Structure 1
């Protein structure tokens, strides 16, 4: 595992374990001037993945630039979800970090377990739902960006077959697949959606294989909920178009990357670090989207016809103005009713989504 040397040293950890614990700081107490706040991050992939972890690390760099000498940051990359995550979080806590961002869904139980052992440390978990007095959660409405990308996909496919590379069949990914299909079908009733599961967040070889499998089925537009640029590289080699995922992936402009969903974590990270510094931090759960600036739509390149760009931007602006990508009437895959005319789901319903909508023929792994 590629970790920062300071945090990987077992000898250093043993030494820290023998030191007397730092005095606990009560919730709501500002950090005194001259005392540096240490902020740690753990990433599921490498910071150079060009996608998810890269974008979170831009947020880390943004807080360094914003707060200067008032803070000190560190990170551990390539942390597998599971027991390794708990060890990495413990390392950061023992190293004196008083605010720790855990940036992958599968870190959830590790965050809860570690937070219970370090009540004076504040934890922030990305895309999770379990909270405690010293654990907050934050998420982005990625499905809003998928509605925009789905519009482009539905209008630009020549084979009427679009593909989606899924990481794991969790609600966050199911939302994106469904939103993509709904909005592709709105502009192209003949669209079919093919899904390949990679069972990884970051594995360029598996992601490239997934893209190849989709292309072999006649797909000419691919979306992904995985972290590397490998699917775009495969499209560049074989033909077809795709989209930046989590990050702009601008190296593949103007095609095959014709637009992107960009996760902009910087404002949230700056806000939460500031609240620890001024003593106003409290546990919460937030879910932000296009209108909040947390989900951005990357440049729609000149490879996209003007009418397609106009339609996609209209969807983006409608979402910013209050349109919900899941607005009824909508049925589930088996034909049973889900949302009536004009009805929208609650956040709680979306957060437990475990089905495809009507019209998707792919099967969900169980």
Structure 2
């Protein structure tokens, strides 16, 4: 289901919900559990922008609360439990590593609705949602393949989960498509947000000859490291990171959670919330591509914008054959498109990546 479908249903009942609050009903209490600080400039920042959009759109129908920098593990159970005990009607848990904790706490509070970002475990009171970030990675790979002069592209990866592996594969496929000499070097940071580790990873990659850095971590530290190096291209991750534009940051992936958060909160207000899975991309607007700056050659910018439009309309799929797995075995035949099941559980690299996925 797309955001457009959800919003269509949400809009119809907006007037009735406002009347309910006027009649003395308590506002719906919505909690957000964040893996990083709201000021990280990336992943958590954009989730909190979604929270603020809920407040602005729904006014006195809602009350929102959040806890930032919650580690994935027992602390997450404690925070979610406390939110539920303090009257939360709806709780968004915004990191993959909260998956089992979300299911655990949801089983103890069947009347509370939970929404888990990027996971795959659902229950009657647990929905899942994610964005097709790999579409944005395709655009980044296309630009990166054109712009690298050393033919070495560095990639700062967080954890070896399908979401991250999909992104690496998508970026590599599209970089290789325009530059067959491209090589990817991957550093696993084993963190979502740790500016010191992220900066160190960026510097290691730069020392290895990378003149383009892609990241699947949340801080702006890699941008700063590239800026200090002076000749390294970067892309904003999760948020625009436009303070580093026009160079080194030449474009970005922007996660826009606001329409989804508004729609799902409205569904709780209306009493129409149901457990569901949502996986949207550039077309519905959950994934946006930040401005491609003039540091990118005009013809490359034009071809990237053409790719964005074809991804938006569905004319093009980022994983279209012929594509082989890393061991050379056929994955997708010529013209064949990857199915969502394989993408959701992706645990392999495509042919040409000279690296191993950590176990």
The match for 1:95 is: 86
**CA-to-partner distance for each residue in 1:49-82, whole Å, 9 max, x for gaps?**
0000000000000000001111100100000001
* Deviation for aligned residue 1:241: 0.9
Structure 1 segment 234-245 matched on structure 2, within 5 A: 234-239=225-230, 240-245=232-237
The 5 Å alignment of 1:343-354 reads 343-354=336-347
Aligned counterpart, 1:311: 303
Question: Cα distance, 1:308 vs. partner?
Answer: 1.0
Cα-to-partner distance string for 1:31-63 (whole Å, 9 max, x where unaligned): 943321110000000000000000000000000
| Residues 205-226 of structure 1: CA deviation (Å, up to 9, x unaligned) | 0000100110011000000000
Which residue number in structure 1 is paired with residue 66 of structure 2? Answer: 75
Cα displacement (A) at 1:314: 1.0
Instruction: Give 1:1-366 correspondences, 5 Å limit.
Output: 32-33=20-21, 34=24, 35-239=26-230, 240-322=232-314, 323-366=316-359
Question: Whole-Å Cα distance in 1 between the matches of residues 77 and 164 of structure 2?
Answer: 24
Deviation at 1:311? 1.1
Paired with 1:49 and 1:159, the residues of 2 have a C-alpha distance of 30
* CA distance in structure 2 between the partners assigned to 1:150 and 1:345 by the alignment: 18
Tell me by how many angstroms 1:250 deviates: 1.0
User: What do you get for the CA RMSD once the two structures are aligned?
Assistant: 1.1
Shift of 1:364: 1.1
After TM superposition, give the deviation of residue 156 of structure 1 in Å: 0.5
Once the two structures are superposed, residues 163-204 of structure 1 have per-residue CA deviations (whole angstroms, 9 ceiling, x without a partner) of: 110001100000000000000111111111111100000000
Q: How many residue pairs are counted as aligned between the two chains? A: 338
* Whole-angstrom CA distance in 1 between matches of 2:92 and 2:153: 35
**Residue aligned with 1:73, SS:** strand
- In the alignment, structure 1 segments of 5+ residues that lack a partner are 1-29
Q: Tell me what 1:5 maps to.
A: none
Aligned residue in 1 for 2:5: none
TM-score, normalised on structure 1? 0.91
Deviation at 1:320, TM superposition (A): 1.0
Q: State the 1:303 CA deviation.
A: 1.1
Which segments of structure 1 move beyond 3 Å, counting only runs of 4 or more? none
SS in 2 for 1:246: coil
Partner Cα separation in structure 2 for residue 37 and residue 280 of structure 1: 14
Partner Cα distance (2:60, 2:335) in 1: 51
Determine the C-alpha separation between the residues in 2 that align with 1:363 and 1:210. Answer: 17
Look up the match of 1:8: none
How many Å apart are 1:280 and its aligned residue? Answer: 0.9
CA distance in 1, matches of 2:300, 2:322: 25
Deviations 1:300-343 (CA, angstroms, capped at 9, x unpaired): 11111101101111111111121110001100111111111111
